[in-house]
Amino acid sequence: MGKPPCCDKNGLKKGPWTAEEDQKLIDYIRKHGHGRWRTLPKNAGLKRCGKSCRLRWTNYLRPDIKRGKFSLEEEEIIIQLHSVLGNKWSAIATRLPGRTDNEIKNYWNTHIKKKLLRMGIDPVTHSPRLDLLELSSLLSSSLYNSSQLNPTGLLGIGSMFNPNCLNLATALMTSQNKNLEIGTTPGNVQQNQTGNFQCQNQCEFYQGNQVQNPIQACTQIWQANLNHFSTNPTSLTCQNSTLPNLWQEYDRENINVSNSKGFFPMQNYGYHEFNQSNINSLAGQNQTFFSENIPNLNTFRSLLSTPSSSSTPLNSSTTYVNNNGSSTEDIERDSYCSNMLMFDVPNGLNVNGSV
């Protein structure tokens, strides 16, 4: 027959561990090592089941566990890996020394997930929530020209769909109406000598098209970014001399976030800060990790090798409108991966949905 039945769960303690229990477990493992979790509690004098002891050790008492807040780099790595691996918390944890899968899972569910939702990004697919965009577009097309109502406010999705995006589109339309001298043919998307995409042309493209309303304009811009990143994973540069101010602001804000670091042009996120040390730690430590765990390895590697963009410093006289009550730290942390949806708000524009 098989092994004797598992430990009798009756009479075993559950719930939070006391300091005394922790000490008993630590002392025992120091002397005898871990493993044999079934017999460990009895030998250590603990009224716990082996599973509980193992969990307590691996998630809390292990000496190599790094406690405290997640750093920005750690958060970046989590998002990057989650976009490729999904909810494989243990696989993600192997890339974050000192962090447990449980800790990463909790952090994802309590912080990162909400952050992505606020940005209008589906935390499961890591793609923009086009369902919201389509809904907004449908309603706004009938509302925009007839009133000052804010469709995102009506829908109650203001916190999920960044209103600043609307202002970008609004400003684009304004620019269009003012007949800004752009100079090139609408829709003429081209690459410069270094192969970098010219966002100037992207902007012209949308100015040249028949944009129905701000949300539709924003949607198209968004889609174009996705299409661009999926087909042309190179850095994006802007020729400031021909750019509308909004695009300059957009570019500056991206640059501000990264300082001198390189950008990581995520297919789903637009620009994502990603410095060389991260790349090294991800790609260099264990090459087999990528080949074993990441199906589209070549695409991922090509993204990792993306060159840095401009490091122009920011003249930070502009203001972000934050309508969700995030803390200052959250705002700072949000910024690094929300560049695609964050735009400077021109003075006088109402972005809060209030009349």
Nearer to DNA, 64 or 181 (CB): 64
240 vs 242: CA distance, rounded Å: 5
Task: Give kind and range of the element (H or E) at residue 145.
Answer: none
Residue from 26, 62, 73, 107 binding DNA (CB under 7 A):
107
Considering the rule CB under 7 A, would residue 103 count as an interface residue with DNA? yes
338 vs 330: CA distance, rounded Å: 12
- Centre a 10 Å sphere on the Cβ of residue 54 and count the other Cβ atoms it contains: 18
Residue from 74, 75, 76, 101 binding DNA (CB under 7 A):
101
Block residue for tokens 């264990």: 286
Considering the rule CB under 7 A, would residue 290 count as an interface residue with DNA? no
Give whole-number Cα distances, 259 to 200, 251, 312, 314, 319, in Å: 22, 12, 8, 8, 18
278 vs 329: CA distance, rounded Å: 21
Considering the rule CB under 7 A, would residue 7 count as an interface residue with DNA? yes
Residue from 106, 227, 287, 296 binding DNA (CB under 7 A):
106
Considering the rule CB under 7 A, would residue 334 count as an interface residue with DNA? no
The residues pairing with 198 across neighbouring beta strands, listed in sequence order, are 237
Residue from 24, 56, 95, 228 binding DNA (CB under 7 A):
56
Residue from 55, 132, 157, 294 binding DNA (CB under 7 A):
55
In whole angstroms, how close is the CB of 224 to DNA at the nearest point? 32
Single-letter code of the amino acid located at 199: C
Q: Is 272 helix (H, G, I), strand (E, B) or coil?
A: strand
Binding letters toward DNA, positions 62-91, x by CB under 7 A: -------------------------xxxxx
Considering the rule CB under 7 A, would residue 114 count as an interface residue with DNA? yes
Chain residues that interact with DNA, rule: CB under 7 A: 1-7, 13-17, 35-39, 50-52, 54-56, 58-60, 87-91, 101-103, 105-107, 109-111, 114
